[in-house]
């Protein structure tokens, strides 16, 4: 390759490898000094700032949102009128999630140890997205040496330079502010030197390893603070050594042939398990220069008569875009640098990059002679090193350099329980910190907990119970208390493995429930009045004012009675004097021992139903399957009341309600549920509502309250479902496709919350034999069948 093929003065200066070895790495970095905590001055007189954004998740975000983001970026570039250059870097780095371990040596602790060990073996990666904006100096006219000397000492010239500097800095801050507004909702922020992020990012551009880096205290150019490792070049190979990088080899690819069209996300598949730096730079070309190029191209086509109608239309459209200001052309340079300490892995990664590029219609190459130039061209402010520059529009640039990234979830300091529940891998090889709660309001850490109630949907046999049991076990890292309303004993094995108390509520044995015995304080009396009214009132025969008053008086007298008289037989007798032809007494006696609902409360002289312990489960199959609204409202309403009492200590608590649509499909819950969910949120409780189809929830009497009050969703694919089954959730097209077209047996879950949606890999195979306990296996149920089963039965399951 001839020297002319290395475009730019910077590239030419690298021709001699001997000369390069004699000079320092920092000599080829453009960073001179910090103007302020966010702004850097370059050797070329540019001022630059860097913005870190979270990006949009292209796997689940709707196309309209992705296109809208692309248009915003393109419009901002067009409006800067060529005074700015733009770089977008995507840097892939190793992700090591840090969450507190589950303490102890019980089942939950063993599950956590296995899972954290599995996570560390997955090679999880994060991709950071950084936009760099450079305010370019104005083009200067040619002046004589005498004029330069005279201008140097002119006082008014010095003052003019100060004002020019301030105007340029102000315009830079304005563009950065506009970009932050355009990426609102993506947690955008300007990187600062004081945090170590600004220089850490600039160092990572050359190494693929990002760690906090701070300015050196000694006097010298800023580049010295960044040049903390040594790059050397041989043929097309880059070798990094020293500093935080360790020793590793790299290859750098660049575009040889551009595609005919660009689409947003066309390089999203570059999710490789290696340190990787993808760089896009865009330097606008003056409009008058581009207009002249277009005119020449149009004349050439006309004279040779070799262009199709579409080509002429494209040129005419480009010319029109320049005139209207919607289009800006610029020089684009893209590189993809990959690094690894393993030669075989590096070769595999190189093949993967070429395959992804080929699928996108792009030809990428490595170059022995130009690899140094490509390497240094990655750094903002080193535009002179760029070779193989393509002329594209601002719209093309916004599509090629799409701001797409898999979210990482919420950090511990962003959620009220101070830690994520767990970390799940994602199909793209990242790691997602899962939490039930919405993100805490900034600066309002001590406020009431944000909403964390969660809807879990999935088909029968689709893994709902396994996932719930795993989440319950992982929640023990914050010592969460758990109450589970189970159905068909689906959670019995994992709950008992966790050490839970487990019981069954059924019509053929005493329930131990007696609200008349326990609800005797003023608050309890008020609750009893509302609850009993809901149980005995009939649509065709509502209670009269006299009956309502008599009921309140009877509740008060019950509270004042000795404990031994606080039962339903005695309570029913209090209504005998009421002059209503025995109507109210007969309604109350339905709940006494001889009444049709007497099995629930009637035989219980005291309240012996236990909610003691950190984990409590009760099977409600009998109650849920009989289809009686009154019985469900009676049993669940009172147990919920007991739970509300128990949670006054505001300890982190999880309530699981399996077959939620069936459990809550009553007029009582339709009226009470929304307020109850608010109350439980304030008591630091998360409610998990579990069912198969969204339509079951939507069509239930409490459906509206559930869909309004439960904003976090965990959705498991169901290829037997239809689009209508998910209509109540307002899924976008991509989310719906995941739900309906994911192959059976593929363990993934779609999580939707206040931060958007993300697809998680929920395959728990690496838990080994522990899955037999988490999964409520036949062996687990057999171990529990013995009356004196070993509480640590899970250790023996294989």
| Superfamily per CATH, domain 421-428+449-509+609-798 | P-loop containing nucleotide triphosphate hydrolases (3.40.50.300)
- The answer on pLDDT for 325 being more than 90 is no
**pLDDT reported for residue 139:** 61
Tokens matching residue 787 = 């009356």
Q: Are 262 and 399 in contact (CB under 8 A)?
A: yes
**pLDDT reported for residue 6:** 43
User: What's the Rg (C-alpha) of the chain?
Assistant: 34
Region class of 730: left (phi > 0), else alpha (psi between -120 and 50), else beta? left
Measured CA to CA, the distance from residue 605 to residue 708 in angstroms comes to 39
* Element of type H or E holding 505: none
Residue 96 gets which letter from DSSP? Answer: -
* C-alpha distances out from residue 656 to 121, 217, 546, 566, 785, Å: 31, 56, 40, 31, 24
Q: Are 468 and 617 in contact (CB under 8 A)?
A: no
- The answer on pLDDT for 304 being more than 70 is no
- The answer on pLDDT for 307 being more than 60 is no
**pLDDT, average across residues 579-595:** 95
Give the count of beta carbons closer than 10 Å to the beta carbon of residue 730: 11
**pLDDT reported for residue 155:** 58
Q: Are 791 and 771 in contact (CB under 8 A)?
A: no
Tokens matching residue 487 = 């159905």
- The answer on pLDDT for 433 being more than 60 is yes
CATH 3.40.50.300 location in the chain: 421-428+449-509+609-798
In tens, the pLDDT along 764-795 reads 999 999 999 999 889 999 999 888 889 999 99
- The answer on pLDDT for 238 being more than 70 is yes
- The answer on pLDDT for 19 being more than 90 is no
Arithmetic mean of pLDDT over the chain: 90
Give the count of beta carbons closer than 10 Å to the beta carbon of residue 353: 24
* C-alpha distances out from residue 344 to 120, 233, 351, 366, 667, Å: 21, 19, 11, 17, 65
Angle between helix 545-560 and 522-536 (nearest 10): 140
Residue 701 gets which letter from DSSP? Answer: T
Q: How far is CA 285 from the centre of its chain?
A: 38
Q: Please report which residue ranges of 699-754 form alpha helices under DSSP H.
A: 703-709, 733-741
In tens, the pLDDT along 260-274 reads 788 888 888 888 888
**Can you tell me which residue has the tokens 């029109």?**
320
3-class SS string, 535-584:
HHCECCECCCHHHHHHHHHHHHHHHHCCHHHCCHHHHHHCCCCCCCCCHH
**pLDDT reported for residue 118:** 96
Tokens matching residue 789 = 């089963």
pLDDT band at 18 (very low <50, low <70, confident <90, very high): very low
Measured CA to CA, the distance from residue 658 to residue 655 in angstroms comes to 10
- The answer on pLDDT for 104 being more than 60 is yes
In tens, the pLDDT along 149-198 reads 555 555 566 777 889 999 999 999 999 999 999 998 899 999 999 999 99
The neighbouring-strand residues paired with 434 are: 422
More reliable by pLDDT, 18 or 517: 517
Measured CA to CA, the distance from residue 451 to residue 754 in angstroms comes to 10
| Phi/psi of residue 323, nearest 5 degrees | -65, -40
Give the count of beta carbons closer than 10 Å to the beta carbon of residue 214: 13
């Amino acid at each position: 390759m001839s020297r002319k093929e290395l475009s730019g003065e910077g590239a030419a200066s690298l021709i001699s490898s001997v000369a390069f070895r004699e000079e320092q790495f920092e000599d080829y970095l453009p960073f001179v000094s910090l103007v302020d905590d966010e702004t850097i001055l370059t050797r070329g007189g540019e001022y630059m700032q860097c913005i870190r954004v979270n990006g949009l998740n292209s796997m689940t975000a709707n196309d309209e949102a992705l296109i809208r983001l692309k248009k915003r970026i393109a419009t901002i570039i067009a409006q800067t009128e060529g005074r700015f250059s733009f770089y977008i870097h995507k840097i892939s780095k190793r992700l090591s999630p840090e969450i507190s371990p589950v303490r102890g040596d019980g089942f939950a602790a063993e599950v956590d140890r296995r899972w954290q060990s599995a996570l560390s073996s997955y090679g999880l990666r994060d991709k950071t997205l950084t936009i760099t904006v450079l305010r370019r100096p104005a083009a200067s006219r040619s002046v004589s040496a005498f004029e330069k000397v005279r201008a140097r000492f002119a006082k008014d010239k010095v003052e003019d330079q100060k004002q020019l500097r301030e105007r340029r800095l102000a315009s830079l801050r304005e563009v950065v502010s506009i970009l932050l507004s355009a990426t609102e909702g993506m947690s955008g922020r300007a990187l600062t030197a004081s945090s170590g992020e600004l220089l850490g990012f600039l160092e990572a551009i050359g190494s693929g390893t990002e760690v906090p880096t701070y300015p050196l205290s000694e006097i010298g150019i800023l580049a010295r603070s960044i040049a903390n490792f040594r790059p050397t070049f041989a043929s097309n190979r880059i070798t990094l050594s020293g500093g935080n990088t360790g020793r590793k080899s790299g290859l750098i690819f660049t575009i040889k042939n551009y595609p005919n069209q660009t689409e947003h996300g066309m390089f999203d598949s570059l999710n490789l398990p290696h340190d990787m730096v993808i760089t896009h730079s865009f330097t606008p070309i003056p409009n008058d220069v581009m207009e002249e190029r277009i005119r020449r191209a149009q004349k050439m086509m006309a004279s040779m008569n070799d262009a199709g109608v579409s080509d002429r239309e494209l040129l005419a459209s480009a010319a029109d875009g320049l005139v209207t200001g919607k289009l800006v052309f610029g020089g684009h340079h893209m590189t993809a640098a990959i690094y690894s300490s393993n030669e075989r892995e590096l070769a595999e990664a190189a093949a993967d990059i070429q395959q992804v590029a080929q699928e996108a219609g792009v030809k990428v190459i490595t170059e022995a002679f130009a690899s140094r130039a490509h390497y240094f061209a990655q750094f903002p402010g080193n535009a002179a090193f760029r070779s193989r520059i393509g002329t594209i529009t601002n719209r093309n640039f916004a599509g090629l350099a799409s701001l797409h990234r898999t979210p990482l979830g919420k950090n511990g300091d962003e959620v009220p329980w101070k830690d994520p529940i767990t970390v799940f891998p994602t199909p793209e090889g990242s790691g997602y910190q899962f939490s039930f709660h919405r993100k805490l309001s900034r600066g309002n850490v001590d406020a009431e907990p944000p909403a964390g109630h969660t809807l879990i949907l999935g088909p029968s046999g689709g893994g709902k119970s396994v996932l719930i049991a795993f989440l319950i076990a992982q929640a023990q890292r914050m010592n969460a208390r758990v109450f589970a309303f189970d159905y068909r004993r689906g959670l019995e094995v994992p709950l008992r493995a966790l050490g839970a108390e487990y019981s069954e509520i059924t019509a053929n044995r005493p329930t131990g429930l007696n609200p008349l015995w326990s609800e005797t304080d003023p608050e309890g009396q008020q609750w009893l009045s509302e609850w009993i009214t809901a149980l005995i009132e009939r649509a065709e025969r509502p209670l009269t004012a006299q009956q309502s008053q008599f009921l309140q008086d009877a509740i008060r007298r019950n509270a004042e009675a000795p404990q031994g008289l606080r039962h339903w037989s005695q309570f029913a007798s209090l209504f005998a004097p009421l002059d209503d032809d025995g109507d109210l007494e007969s309604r109350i006696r339905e709940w006494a021992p001889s009444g049709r609902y007497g099995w629930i409360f009637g035989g219980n002289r005291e309240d012996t139903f236990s909610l003691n312990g950190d984990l409590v489960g009760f099977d409600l199959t009998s109650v849920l399957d009989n289809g009686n609204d009154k019985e469900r409202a009676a049993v669940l309403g009172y147990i919920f009341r007991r739970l509300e009492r128990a949670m006054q200590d505001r300890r982190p608590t999880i309530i699981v309600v399996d077959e939620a649509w069936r459990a809550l499909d009553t007029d009582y819950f339709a009226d009470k549920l929304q307020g109850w969910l608010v109350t439980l949120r304030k008591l630091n409780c998360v409610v998990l509502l579990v069912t198969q189809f969204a339509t079951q929830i939507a069509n239930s009497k409490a459906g509206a309250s559930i869909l309004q009050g439960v904003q976090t969703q965990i959705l498991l694919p169901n290829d037997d479902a239809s689009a209508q089954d998910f209509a109540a959730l307002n899924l976008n097209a991509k989310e719906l496709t995941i739900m309906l077209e994911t192959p059976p047996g593929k363990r993934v879950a779609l999580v939707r919350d206040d931060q958007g949606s993300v697809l998680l890999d929920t395959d728990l195979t690496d838990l080994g034999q522990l899955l037999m306990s988490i999964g409520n296996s036949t062996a687990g149920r057999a171990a529990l069948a013995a009356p004196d089963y070993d509480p640590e039965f899970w250790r023996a399951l294989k």
